[in-house]
């Protein structure tokens, strides 16, 4: 078991990583003075597996546990879902010391975090991520949001959790596609921030693909360490934290075009990383990075080229990105481990790179 700290002035919190963490949540929960009830936000499938064990652990801390159900996946991240949870909290007379506990994947974490950050101007939040994507990325760093039909994560806040409890045993219950989706985020950290992790994935991906708990403890800890360092330097996404968006600008555009019901987040990010690699090489950066990225993703079971939409649709979706300022901002690689943010990617460059990776004209 590993315990890491996200070091923020006055708001530092621990991330506990290992097998069996959820069943022993009482050992890892933060101090919650004056709390009487923990409101656990989850979807039906996840709660059927984990809620009773988590509720028992919460009970050992002297708190009642109340389950608040939300839809699964990106469907949860809507203004309607947000309002529903707020009204459920108000109807149960939840008070400002009662924590909201996010039990599930990244979408549940985003929704529950937004609710916790705004109900009564903020109540404690605990993240209990059960997917790889959430454990290495979404649950760390304090970003909360819901989607609008016009775009992903357009309504949200920055609000740090009090603790993150990442139970690696939960990874064994994931469908293969969901697990591979999380591996895309792992690949992102390897390519941008941790070349030792990249070497591990390239040299022997077998234990990672097989979900070996001991290996994944190191992998998840490496990703959390990388993200914690970046978040500590730039909590509100104003400078250095932007590198965490590697692959995400195009990825979010693809998700938007799918109406969040097609490719998974990781599948979209995988395409985004290959695209960014192609743009980088066309600019004379990171020679060979496109083929290296494709090879890495394929060894992790990801196929980034499936069913890319037409170019004009992609361009229209990119213009809706939060970071669009009359030009397109992308994170590129000067080399592995050397990300750089650029603001001047042209639509012609986008078109050429998309054509190279298989998008129809």
CATH for 331: 1.20.1090.10
Let me know if residue 278 belongs to a domain.
Answer: yes
Question: 94 lies in a domain?
Answer: yes
pLDDT of residue 288: 96
Do residue 104 and residue 50 come from a single domain?
yes
Same domain, yes or no, for 71 and 17? yes
Domain end (from 128, 152, 173): 173
pLDDT for position 191:
98
Say yes or no: 48 and 107 in one domain.
yes
Residue 229 lies in a domain: no
For residue 241, the enclosing domain spans 179-204+234-356
Give how far Cα 239 sits from Cα of 110, 230, 337, 340, Å.
22, 10, 17, 11
Which phi-psi region, left, alpha or beta, contains residue 263 (left: φ > 0; alpha: ψ -120 to 50)? beta
Are 340 and 332 in contact by the 8 Å Cβ rule? The answer is yes
Check whether residue 144 and residue 199 sit in a common domain: no
Gap between the Cα atoms of 219 and 235, Å rounded: 23
Same domain, 45 and 102: yes
Provide the strand spans (E) within 262-301: none
Quote the CA–CA distance of 297 and 274 in Å, as a whole number: 9
C-alpha to C-alpha distance for 85 and 49, rounded to whole angstroms: 21
Q: Is residue 58 part of a domain?
A: yes
In a domain, 25, yes or no: yes
Best CA proximity match to 350, nearest among 290, 279, 287, 281: 279
At residue 327, the pLDDT reads 66
Q: Are residues 199 and 344 in the same domain?
A: yes
Cα atoms in the 13 Å half-sphere on the side-chain side of 90: 11
- The reply to whether 200 and 340 lie within a common domain is yes
Burial class of residue 149 (count of CB atoms within 10 Å of its CB; 0-12, 13-18, 19+): exposed
Are 72 and 100 part of one and the same domain? yes
Residues 130 and 249 reside in one and the same domain: no
Last residue of a domain, which of 152, 173, 194?
A: 173
Measured in residues, the chain has a length of: 361
Same domain for 165 and 189, yes or no, is no
Domain membership flag for residue 14: yes
Q: Examine the domain organization and report whether 20 and 40 are in the same domain.
A: yes
> Tens place of pLDDT for every residue, the chain, 361 residues?
999 999 998 889 999 999 999 999 999 999 999 999 999 999 999 999 999 999 999 999 999 999 999 999 889 999 999 999 999 999 999 999 999 999 999 999 999 999 999 999 999 999 999 999 999 999 999 999 999 987 788 999 999 999 999 999 999 999 999 999 999 999 999 999 999 999 999 999 999 999 999 999 999 999 999 999 999 999 988 788 889 999 999 998 898 887 766 789 999 999 999 999 999 999 999 999 999 999 999 999 998 766 778 888 888 888 876 555 556 889 999 999 999 999 989 889 998 998 887 655 5
234 secondary structure, DSSP code: -
Residue 217 maps to a domain: no
The pLDDT value given to residue 260: 64
pLDDT of residue 20: 96
Instruction: Judge whether 225 lies within some domain.
Output: no
Instruction: Identify the pLDDT of residue 325.
Output: 57
13 plus 153 within the same structural domain? yes
Tell me how far CA of residue 338 lies from CA of 7, 54, 287, in angstroms: 23, 40, 13
- Name the domain count of the chain: 2
In this structure, what CATH number is given to the domain that contains residue 154? 3.40.50.1970
């Amino acid at each position: 078991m590993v315990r890491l700290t996200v070091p923020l002035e006055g708001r530092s919190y621990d991330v506990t990583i290992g097998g069996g963490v959820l069943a022993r949540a009482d050992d890892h929960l933060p101090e919650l003075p004056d709390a009487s009830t923990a409101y656990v936000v989850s979807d039906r499938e996840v709660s059927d597996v984990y809620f009773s064990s988590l509720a028992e652990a919460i009970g050992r801390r002297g708190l009642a546990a109340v389950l608040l159900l939300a839809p699964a996946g990106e469907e949860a991240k809507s203004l309607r879902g947000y309002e529903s949870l707020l009204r459920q909290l108000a109807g149960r007379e939840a008070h400002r010391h009662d924590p909201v506990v996010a039990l599930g994947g990244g979408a549940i974490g985003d929704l529950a975090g937004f609710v916790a950050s705004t109900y009564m101007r903020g109540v404690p939040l605990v993240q209990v991520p059960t997917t790889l994507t959430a454990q290495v990325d979404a649950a760390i760093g304090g970003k909360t949001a819901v989607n609008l039909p016009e775009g992903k994560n357009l309504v949200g806040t920055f609000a740090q959790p009090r603790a993150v409890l990442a139970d690696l045993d939960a990874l064994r219950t994931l469908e293969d596609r969901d697990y591979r989706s999380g591996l895309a985020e792992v690949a992102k950290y390897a390519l941008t921030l941790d070349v030792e992790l990249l070497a591990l994935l390239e040299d022997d991906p077998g234990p990672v693909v097989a979900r070996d708990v001991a290996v994944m403890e190191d992998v998840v800890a490496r990703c959390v360490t990388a993200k914690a360092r970046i978040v500590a330097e730039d909590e509100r996404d104003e400078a250095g934290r932007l590198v965490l968006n590697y692959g995400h600008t195009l990825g979010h555009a693809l998700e938007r075009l799918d109406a969040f019901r097609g490719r998974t987040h990781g599948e979209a990010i995988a395409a985004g990383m290959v695209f960014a690699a192609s743009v980088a090489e066309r600019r004379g950066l990171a020679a060979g990075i496109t083929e290296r990225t494709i090879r890495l993703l394929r060894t992790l079971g990801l196929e980034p080229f499936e069913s890319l939409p037409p170019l004009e649709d992609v361009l229209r979706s990119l213009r809706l990105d939060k970071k669009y300022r009359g030009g397109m901002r992308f994170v590129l690689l000067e080399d592995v481990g050397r990300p750089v943010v650029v603001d001047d990617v042209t639509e012609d460059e986008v078109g050429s790179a998309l054509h190279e990776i298989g998008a129809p004209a």
